[in-house]
Amino acid sequence: MSGIALLKCRSCGHHWQFRRAACPVCAAIEPEAVAVAGGGTVWSVTTVHRAPLPEWDVPGGYAIALVTLDEGVRVMCRAESGLAIGEPVRVTLRDGLPHAART
Ligand SMILES: [Zn+2]
């Protein structure tokens, strides 16, 4: 497991997930890449019963969640089953993909 990397504006401190040259808030350029702890809260969660890839097909399906990280960035994650909206979680990378689990 490893941590989540975000981009951070050097001017206003806003964080975002996907690569872009300028801050979406203040338009400052040259953001810095930062590693964050991955703490966050479940914003939405569901179970996928029809996996898009055969290797993801598991009996009973698998959970995905939208998690609002402490930095304000919302990320989609594979998730531990049984999570509830509003529950605190920790997001880490598993096989290169974000994964949310209870803290
Ligand atoms: Zn900014």
From the CA of 4, how far away is ligand 1's center (Å)? 20
From the CA of 2, how far away is ligand 1's center (Å)? 26
* Residue 1 pLDDT grade (very low, low, confident, very high; cuts 50, 70, 90): very low
Q: How far apart are CA 85 and CA 46, in angstroms?
A: 10
The Cβ of residue 78 has, within 10 Å, a number of other Cβ atoms equal to 18
The Cβ of residue 54 has, within 10 Å, a number of other Cβ atoms equal to 6
Residue 79: what residue type? A
Question: Residue 92 is part of which domain span?
Answer: 4-102
Q: Mind listing the pLDDT tens digit for each residue in 5-38?
A: 999 999 999 999 999 999 999 999 999 999 999 9
From the CA of 23, how far away is ligand 1's center (Å)? 5
From the CA of 51, how far away is ligand 1's center (Å)? 38
* CATH number of the domain residue 18 falls in: 2.40.50.840
Nearest 5 degrees, angle CA 79-CA 80-CA 82? Answer: 110
From the CA of 7, how far away is ligand 1's center (Å)? 10
pTM: 0.88
The Cβ of residue 79 has, within 10 Å, a number of other Cβ atoms equal to 24
List all residues 6 or more positions away from 21 whose beta carbon is below 8 Å from its beta carbon.
Answer: 29, 30
Q: How far apart are CA 37 and CA 78, in angstroms?
A: 17
Which structure tokens are listed for 35?
């590693």
From the CA of 26, how far away is ligand 1's center (Å)? 4
The number of domains in the chain is: 1
From the CA of 36, how far away is ligand 1's center (Å)? 18
* Residue 2 pLDDT grade (very low, low, confident, very high; cuts 50, 70, 90): low
